[in-house]
Amino acid sequence: MKKSYSTLVNKKDIQSIAIGGFDGMHIAHQKLFENLDENGAIVTIESGFSNLTPKRFRQEYTNLPIYYYVLDNIKYLEGKEFIKLIKEEFPNLKKIVVGFDFCFGKNRKYCVEDLKELFNGEVIVIEEIKNNDIAIHSRYIRDFIKNGDIKKANEFLGKKYKIVGSQIKGQGLGKSDFVPTINLQIEDFLLPKEGVYITKTKIKNDIYNSVTFIGNRVSTDGSYAVETHILKDDIQTTYNKVEIEFLNRIRDNKKFDNFKDLKEQIILDIKEAKEFFN
């Protein structure tokens, strides 16, 4: 992960900013960033609900410094007060880039026209960016992920959807009765719909092809699990940080009456994943 270097850049050097929530750092967000110059920065207004790219992962998706502001602290500001704050923070600001639907301040009553009026610099307003006639917004991407439509989510994100977690102890059944898996504890990230996915798993600097199961282990202990099986290597050690990148969905979660049938299905899932990678 790239270091968050917003603290290393002097705010006095910033001449252009893009403002928004930026959960997802998706295609439309990136289009906004393209309108910033080399002294540009991203101003993120944190609502506390970002679960596509939680705050600590956001810097991975841009070379520009990111500055975070808490929505609760600024949402009561009148338009003039908001601009005053921005000007105080970035005294040499010349340009603000926002999307067509950007609104701010008390009751979100100030929008792009007010911004143009209140800010004595350039305001660039980006028209709605779409993918095949569907607008690109974080909320739609969340819906795709919740419905297991990983391909659509990735298309709108402009990258593979990724979750990051740490390894936890499983039931101890995988290795003996099925296939070995890395069980994961995931915090902050939105989890895709229950089911089996073709994934890539990154551990330290190695990236492995994998299949990942998400859901209640209805055929064994019934508990909720996120577990990934590396297709090639039998990974033995415990890792603090494991990244799962989602590529495609294989099937729904299913209850099997016996371990033999579940194992047969897992072997089929692995075969399908291997074919995908070949």
Ligand X SMILES: Nc1ncnc2c1ncn2[C@@H]1O[C@H](COP(=O)(O)OP(=O)(O)O)[C@@H](O)[C@H]1O
Ligand Y SMILES: Cc1cc2nc3c(=O)[nH]c(=O)nc-3n(C[C@H](O)[C@H](O)[C@H](O)COP(=O)(O)O)c2cc1C
22 binds ligand X (CB under 6 A): yes
SS3 7: coil
Is 124 a binding residue for ligand X by CB under 6 A? The answer is no
* Region binding ligand X by CB under 6 A among candidate stretches 100-108, 116-124, 174-182, 252-260: 100-108
State the DSSP code for 57: G
Determine the Cα–Cα distance for residues 195 and 214; give it in Å rounded to an integer: 5
20 binds, among ligand Y, ligand X, none (CB under 5 to 8 A by kind): ligand X
Site residues for ligand X, 1-20, by CB under 6 A, read: 19-20
* Residue 51 vs 216, nearer CB to ligand Y: 216
CA distances from 202 to 13, 52, 74, 117, 251 (A): 36, 18, 38, 48, 22
Q: Is 220 in the site for ligand Y (CB under 6 A)?
A: yes
Size of the site for ligand X (CB under 6 A): 21
Question: CA quadruple 102, 104, 109, 113: dihedral positive or negative?
Answer: negative
Please choose, out of 6-14, 121-129, 161-169, 171-179, the segment that lies near ligand X by the rule CB under 6 A: 121-129
Nearer to ligand X, 95 or 217 (CB): 95
**Which two three-digit tokens encode residue 106?**
């008390």
168 binds ligand Y (CB under 6 A): no
**Residue whose structure tokens are 């209850």:** 255
| Residue 129 interacts with ligand X (CB under 6 A): yes or no | yes
Q: Are 31 and 129 in contact (CB under 8 A)?
A: yes
The amino acid sitting at 129 is I
- Tell which one of 77, 85, 111, 135 touches ligand X (CB under 6 A): 135
**Comparing C-alpha atoms, which of 243, 270, 252, 247 is closest to residue 179?**
270
Task: Identify any residues that bridge with 94 across adjacent strands, giving them in sequence order.
Answer: none
Interface ranges with ligand Y (CB under 6 A): 170-174, 178-179, 181, 183, 196, 211, 213, 217-220, 227, 229, 253-254, 262, 266, 269
Interface ranges with ligand X (CB under 6 A): 19-24, 28-29, 32, 98-102, 126, 128-129, 135-138
